[in-house]
Structure 1
C-alpha cells in the first residue's frame, strides 16, 4: 500500500501519497476541502504528475530514435512509487529514479523530484528533472490537479476563470486525445471565461500559448484559488462533463499531433535536457476564502 504523509501549518493541511507523489487532500484549517476526492464514479485522479509525456501517444506507443515503446496516457511517473527523501512539518520531497523497469518504456536515466511546501495560505508544488545520463534527455512534464467545482461554500454561485494577463489566447481541440492542427477563437473575453459544463463536451480546453503565468479560478463573490505557474507555458482546463471538479493543468509539453509522428522529440514543447543538467517546473496556488 502507498505511504501517506501529512504536512500542515496554521492555515492549510496537505496529504501526499508515495504513489506518484500525488497530492490526496488540500484542506484549510476551517474544515473546507479544496481538492477533488478521487471518486471513481467520475475520475480516480486527484493531482497526478505527468512525466515523461503529457497527454496521449498514438496507439499508446512512443517512438524514440526509431524504436517503439509502450507509453500510456500522461506517462509512467503517476503509476510508480516515489521515495520520501525529506520532510518537515510544512514540506515534503519525494523522488523517483530510473530503473531497469522504467527503461522498458522510457530508455533514459533520470531523477524526478516532487516537493510540496506550505507558506501561509499558499501551496507550492515543484518538480525537478535531472538528466543522470551522458546523452540528452527528451521529455514533457505537467501537473493535473483537480479542484472542487463548485468551490466549498459556493454551491449556488456561477464560477469563472480569469487570466492575470487579461489575454484572449486561442484554444486548440483534441482529436481522439491527440492535438488538433487548428487554433480556434479564444473562449476568453478580456481574460475572463465564465464556466459552464458544456465547455468540456469535446474534452479539454488547451491553450498552447498566451495564457500567461497566472490565473484565478473563483466563484462570483468568492471564494477563489489564485495560481502562479513557473516554466509551464501551456495551460489546459478539463472536466469530465458534469463532474464536480475542474482541473487546472499547467504543462511544458502536450500530446502528439493527430495524424503525426509518435516520435517523442517531435511532440509540441518537448524539453531536451543536456547531460548532467537539471530543470525545475512548478505552480503555487493561494487559497482566498
Structure 2
C-alpha cells in the first residue's frame, strides 16, 4: 500500500496518509502550507479522525452492556492503518473495516470510510460509518484538523474565529478531560472570538450546541479559512497553550461526563446506528487569501 497519497492539481493540493487516513499537508500553488506540520515538541497530530469515541473515557475504559473495554482518548481509528480503495487526480478514499483487533476494544462489525476531495480552493472531507453488525452500532465521531497560528503570511496580525450564525454559544468546562458543567456566559461576542493563547490554559473550548454550521478562522486584514459542517453539531477549538497551531474540531459526540458512567451509550451525542444503515459526516474548508 502507498503510505502517502497526493491529490489536487490546481490552486490547492493535499496529501493523505494511510495511517489514520490523516491529512498530512494542505498547500496552495504559492508554496504555503496551511496545515500544522505535526512537530512533536507541541503535538504530533495533524488532522486525526476520532472514532468510535470523541474525547476521553473514564479511566481509559468504555462499557458496553456492562462489560468494560480499554479505549484510548479519541478512539483507535487515528492509530489504525486504512486501506486505499479509490484514488483520482483530485480525490481519494480510505477504509477501515472491523477486525479481530478492533473487536477486542469495540465488539462491533463496522466500516469507516474517509474521503478527501479537492474542489478549487476548497477541501472536502467526508466520513461514512456503516453498521455491519446484528444490532445497533453506538459511536461518536469527530474531526481534529490543526492549522497554523499565525496563518501563512499573517505574522503579527490578530487572529479570530467568527461564527456564521453570529451567536454567542455557551461553553462547557472539562474536568480532567471529561465533560463538566456549563460555564456562565460565552467567550464569543456577537459571534466573534478574538484569539489569545491564554484562552486554552484550561484545555479546549467546547461548544455542545449553538455554534452553527459554519465559521471562519482568520487573521485581521489577512488570509482566512472558512468552514462549513454537515451532521456535526458540536464544535471545539484547541491548542497546546502557546503552540503555533489552532485546531478547529467539529464533532458528533463528546467525552464522557465527569463523575458519570463509562457506558458508551450514555456519552453525550452518541449515535446508535441501526443494523444495515450508514451515516455521513463532513466538513468543507475554503481558503481565502
Asked if 2 retains the 8 angstrom alpha-carbon contact of 1:2 and 1:81, the reply is no
Q: Distance in 1 between matches of 2:2 and 2:89?
A: 20
**Structure 2: tracts of 5 or more residues without a match:** none
Counterpart of 2:188?
188
| Aligned pairs (5 A) from 1:38-187 | 38-187=38-187
- SS of residue in 2 equivalent to 1:101: helix
CA deviation string 1:16-52 (max 9, x = no partner): 0000000000010110010000001000000000000
**Residue in 2 that maps onto 1:28:** 28
Shift of 1:278: 0.2
2: distance between equivalents of 1:286 and 1:184? 33
| Counterparts of 2:6 and 2:53, CA distance in 1 | 28
Contact 1:225 1:287 in 2 (8 A): yes
Partner of 1:283: 283
Show the counterpart of 1:214: 214
Distance in 2 separating the partners of 1:172 and 1:33: 32
Partner of 1:265: 265
Shift of 1:222: 1.8
The SS at the match of 1:102 is: helix
Please tell me whether the aligned partners of residues 90 and 117 of structure 2 are also in contact (alpha carbons under 8 angstroms).
yes
Partners of 1:12 and 1:264 lie apart in 2 by: 39
CA contact (8 A) 1:253 1:270 kept: yes
- CA distance in 1: counterparts of 2:17 and 2:93, whole angstroms: 11
> Taking structure 2 as the reference length, what is the TM-score of the superposition?
0.99
Distance 1:78 1:106, change over 3 A: same
CA distance in 1, matches of 2:32, 2:184: 37
* Counterpart Cα distance in 2 of 1:176 and 1:184: 20
Give me the whole-angstrom Cα distance separating, in 2, the residues matched to 1:79 and 1:2.
17
- TM-superposed CA distance for 1:2, in Å, is 7.1
Distance in structure 2 (CA, Å) of the matches to 1:158 and 1:134:
52
Match of 1:245 in 2: 245
Q: CA deviation at 1:153?
A: 0.2
Q: Give the Å deviation of 1:181.
A: 2.4
Q: Secondary structure at the match of 2:198?
A: helix
SS of equivalent residue, structure 1 residue 235:
strand
Which position in structure 1 is the counterpart of 2:6?
6
Secondary structure of the residue aligned to 2:162 is strand
Q: Distance in 2 between matches of 1:76 and 1:197?
A: 29
How many positions carry a matched residue from both structures? 289
Cα distance in 2 between the residues matched to 1:83 and 1:252: 24
- 1:185 deviates by 1.3
Contact 1:181 1:257 in 2 (8 A): no
Deviations 1:76-95 (Å, cap 9, x if unpaired)? 10010000000000000000
